[in-house]
Structure 1
Amino acid sequence: MPQQEYPWKSLSASRNTNISDAIKVDGSKHDFYWARSHEGLPQLICKLPEAVPLDVTLPTFNGIEARLVEAGGECLLVMQLTDMTFEQLFYHLCLNLIESTRSADSAAAIVAVIAGRLKRWQKLLGKKSVPGMLTRQEQQGLMGELFFLRDKLFDWTGYRQAVECWVAPDEHPQDFALPGPTSVEVKCRQTTSPDMVKISSAWQLHQEDGDIVLAVLALGKGKEESAGHFTLASLVEDIRQTLASTPDASELFEDALFGWGYIDLPEYNVTWWQPASWRAYGVDGSFPKLTVLDLKQGIVDVSYRLSLPDCSSWEMDILDLKSAF
């Protein structure tokens, strides 16, 4: 987002923490305002509908702090950017917080939702070298999961159940947990790369009960605005539009995206792709894999590359997964 477009750019520094010189956020359910601190730092202020205890501790991280204050007889929840390096990130965090509170119906609920979101952002940013930005490999992995969600699960079951099956954002060993139980690990590879996938953990193809299916999506280079071609951002937006009429599924999807580490950034709308093909493999006891049961004492974990041509004996029709529903 260009710097001059940030909503606080037109504001002057405020001598006090208040909303008298602030700009109310358009379309927000609650009273959110864009503001600047007396040092001129960007703020998002929520005027709470009633008073709450001010001693609630809110997470602070990566140059972003949050606090509850009383000013002018009003109870305010103030989010403030303290390091301008993270200005773009702060803007997207603010939008996420505004959207996440739509279902909150009291001041206490608003504070609880925002505190929970801030904790998730704190955890998310704590494990990334570039705050808010997924690596190229992570973007490709997310695209594979989103395509499985949209092109498979949305056709097989209701939207809410489909999104509930997406468990990767909750750090589950596999990406999807279907009824049965059947777990699906989704891998995404480029058509121009070697015909193999990386198994990044001894847990990915391990399951105590039920079945595991390895689903592999091949992606080819796409062209801008061509039919069926997409960027990561346009794929996310397409799913959002699909879920727009199902608010509960839409909210779950946004939570899952956030848990995965995705926020709306212009960098995700640059590279275009087109889906080429799906393949699926039934991971049984004889499937070539390394799991936690194979690790000798002293080996904590392992990652390895799996040759797909050597797995042809275990290939199955991905449509067979529909029977899980």
Structure 2
Amino acid sequence: MRTKIDIIWEELEKTELSPYPVLMRGYPGKVLAEVYIGLKVHDSQRCLAVHLDNASLSQVRSLGELEDIKFEVFLDTKNKSKVYLLILLLEPTLKEIFSTLCEDLIASISGIKDERRLVRGLVSRLEKWVSLFIKAKSPGLSQEAQLGLYGELYFLRKWLLQSNEREKCLKAWVGVEKAVRDFQFGDWALEVKASHGNNHQKIHISSERQLDTSNLRNLYLFHLSLDVRQESGETLNSIVDSIVEILTEDYVLWSLFQIKLVEAGYIAQHREQYTKKGYYTRNEAFYEVKDAFPRIEEKDLREGVGDVKYTIISSDCSFYSVDEVQVYQNIN
């Protein structure tokens, strides 16, 4: 599925013999600021253009340049106190992630009318995207990262299919933002753990806070035991595509999902790497973390101890097993 701005860029790229250095079209959505989809004609560079007062540019200059993105100022010939800030893509091979970046930037400022706040919002989001562009040029996800992402997507798909609040499902997926737990919304949280091979019963906990129930009404652990096979089973690409299919009729949710994928390190140009390895489900189970559930909490640690990693055995958690329907009732 192409984004709205992809379609506009493609149309602009077909324009012949333009007398203008930059072609621009208004963004086709509800945005309080003046935002345009643009193309720098001479270099055929895709860009996002924001109409600003001259005085607002100092905040943007503090950001500096990104490796694959350039900022330029294009004067408004009709109003000398105004300029267009151009956010230009320098590396054409990154156009898919640039589309996602632009959608994210627009979403982050869509409800802001005050220009100072708007520019601060742009700068803040661009600073976040520095690391995401670095990910885009990385070799791709490691084997363990692929397994972990598959587990999170497996739960996300299950939840989306039975929920009437799909936006909430996506917004609750905060593990991609380096949150303590994979899903959290309000006073509940859910951690997803995927395991495979000879260690399929072992659940690895990465910190003393991950299963800490402080300030939470409910904390659930979803354990997914998998078989990993070559050239067989559901691939990482396949589960991504299945969720895209669920969201395909809602452009806003589809766009939000694309942003979450990039945050998780799943980049479109790496898809070829994820075509051969597939997953089969051996077992899946939900547990409610409470009372004497086998875990270490922050309050259990002696002074000076931190960054605790430990393993629990899924069979020892059976007393805390909880029905899937009950979990959805509580988190919905």
Q: Is the contact between residue 89 and residue 95 of structure 2 (CA under 8 Å) also seen in structure 1?
A: no
* 1:70-81 matches, cutoff 5 A: 70=74, 73=77, 75-81=84-90
Residue 252, structure 1, aligned to residue 256, structure 2: yes
Residue 231, structure 1, aligned to residue 235, structure 2: yes
Give the partner amino acid of 1:32: G
Residue 154, structure 1, aligned to residue 156, structure 2: no
Summarize the Cα distance change of 1:242–1:68 in structure 2 as closer, same or farther, 3 Å threshold: same
Secondary structure of 2:295's counterpart equals coil
Q: Is the contact between residue 222 and residue 272 of structure 1 (CA under 8 Å) also seen in structure 2?
A: yes
Shift of 1:124: 4.2
Give the partner amino acid of 1:184: L
Paired residue for 2:100? Answer: 96
Paired residue for 2:309? Answer: 303
Residue 44, structure 1, aligned to residue 53, structure 2: no
Summarize the Cα distance change of 1:214–1:50 in structure 2 as closer, same or farther, 3 Å threshold: closer
Q: 1:269 aligns with which of 264, 269, 274?
A: 274
Shift of 1:288: 1.4
Give the partner amino acid of 2:235: T
* TM-score normalised to structure 1 length: 0.73
Summarize the Cα distance change of 1:269–1:34 in structure 2 as closer, same or farther, 3 Å threshold: farther
Listed as ranges, the gaps of 5+ residues in structure 1 are: 1-6, 12-17
* TM-score normalised to structure 2 length: 0.71
Residue 183, structure 1, aligned to residue 162, structure 2: no
Task: Tell me which protein shows more helix as a share of its residues.
Answer: 2
Give the partner amino acid of 1:46: L
- 1:164-211 Cα offsets, whole Å, 9 max, x none, are 3222234332212256x3321101112454421210111100021322
Give the partner amino acid of 2:259: D
Distance in 2 of aligned mates of 1:61 and 1:136: 32
Secondary structure of 1:272's counterpart equals strand
Paired residue for 1:282? Answer: 288
Shift of 1:258: 3.3
- 1:62-106 Cα offsets, whole Å, 9 max, x none, are 62343131269473514354xx7xx74x43432223443666599
Q: Is the contact between residue 196 and residue 308 of structure 1 (CA under 8 Å) also seen in structure 2?
A: yes
- 1:200-247 Cα offsets, whole Å, 9 max, x none, are 1111000213222111112223575x7xx4322232222122112223
Distance in 2 of aligned mates of 1:76 and 1:178: 36
Paired residue for 1:69? Answer: 73
Residue identity over aligned pairs, in percent, reads 24
* 1:161-180 matches, cutoff 5 A: 161-177=168-184
Q: Is the contact between residue 132 and residue 262 of structure 1 (CA under 8 Å) also seen in structure 2?
A: no
Give the partner amino acid of 2:218: D
Q: Is the contact between residue 43 and residue 78 of structure 1 (CA under 8 Å) also seen in structure 2?
A: no
- Bigger mean CA offset, 251-260 vs 282-291: 251-260
How many pairs were matched up?
A: 295
Paired residue for 1:15? Answer: none
Shift of 1:155: 0.9
Shift of 1:263: 2.5
Summarize the Cα distance change of 1:176–1:48 in structure 2 as closer, same or farther, 3 Å threshold: closer
Summarize the Cα distance change of 1:170–1:72 in structure 2 as closer, same or farther, 3 Å threshold: closer
- Bigger mean CA offset, 146-155 vs 263-272: 263-272
Coordinate RMSD, CA, aligned: 3.9
Secondary structure of 1:97's counterpart equals helix
Give the partner amino acid of 1:269: Y
